[in-house]
Amino acid sequence: MSDNGSRDPLEETVFRRGELLIAIDDQSRAKPALTEAIDASRSTVDRGAAELVEAGCIERHGSEYSPTRLGTLCADHYRRYRSNLDALEEATEVVSLLPPSASLSTTFVDGADIHSANPAAPEAALQPSIDLLSDANRLLGLAPVEISLYVDLIYENAIANGLSAEVIVERNTLEHLLEKDEERLRELVSAGRLELLMTPETLRCALWIMESSGEDVAGATVYVNGGIRGLIVNSSTEAVEWARAEYRRHRELAERKPIDEFLGD
């Protein structure tokens, strides 16, 4: 990218001729095979090949075009770009509900399972995360809204499966939780099954990580005006690592005083 925000010539060529470059990177081909591979006219392939040769991405050997080392690197870059767009397209219905200030990486969305909430039964979208929680031994999460179901689930799984949880909450959310569930929260805290941390931040979505003896899984529950609108779940190593880093960032800003000071006397 140039200083004025426009693409440099190589970047412009790769993004304009990316499909042609990938076809050549996959397999050296002559022009007739390329027109079929990318479903384009001969004139389009002619222009694209000429631009890619000039950019140093491909070279001609007889009637066939082959990628240069630069071309292979550029093709990989374009594949990642295309994969990110595909992932965002699949997640559009849920991701588009997040505010612009929400932190959500394409790494987290790529390959994720997306569950949109049905207005008639929005909590049904949570079922995948409920199932995961029953197998988890540790939960780390952000709680932007007060939903009693979450306390129910943590309490039930702490009793039945030995689950422990650390949850970062906003002050208003914590106050509402205490009004409704102080007795069970005290029980969980005294048993060492729950730690609540209060953050001065405004939390934009309920990011969480569930750790188990099998694989760790990350997810994000999306809310609008306190209502559940969708769920994103991803078990890839990259997605879980991103979620952990994001959780640690929020944890550094949260208050770490003893839990009894939150719950009161």
SS3 annotation, the chain:
CCCCCCCCHHHHHHHHCHHHHHHHHHCCEEHHHHHHHCCCCHHHHHHHHHHHHHCCCEEEECCEEEECHHHHHHHHHHHHHHHHHHHHHHCHHHHCCCCCCCCCCHHHHCCCEEEECECCEHHHHHHHHHHHHHHCCEEEEEECCCCHHHHHHHHHHHHHHCCEEEEEEEHHHHHHHHHHHHHHHHHHHHCCCEEEEEECCCCCCEEEEEECCCCCEEEEEEEECCEEEEEEEECCHHHHHHHHHHHHHHHHHCECCCHHHHHCC
Q: Which portions of the chain are predicted below pLDDT 50?
A: 1-5, 265
Residue 141: name the closest of 110, 173, 114, 113 by CA: 173
Q: What's the pLDDT at 6?
A: 54
Mean pLDDT of the chain: 86
Q: What's the pLDDT at 252?
A: 93
Interhelix angle 69-90/9-16, nearest 10 degrees:
60
Q: What's the pLDDT at 109?
A: 85
Cβ proximity of 199 and 168 under 8 Å: yes
Task: Quote the tokens at residue 147.
Answer: 């939903």
Q: What's the pLDDT at 2?
A: 45
Q: What's the pLDDT at 7?
A: 64
Q: Which segments of the chain belong to CATH 1.10.10.10?
A: 9-85
Q: Which segments of the chain belong to CATH 3.30.870.10?
A: 92-263
Assigned superfamily of 92-263? Endonuclease Chain A (3.30.870.10)
Task: Quote the tokens at residue 16.
Answer: 């304009």
Q: What's the pLDDT at 262?
A: 62
Instruction: Give domain 9-85's CATH number out of 1.25.10.10, 1.10.10.10, 3.20.190.10, 1.10.287.130.
Output: 1.10.10.10
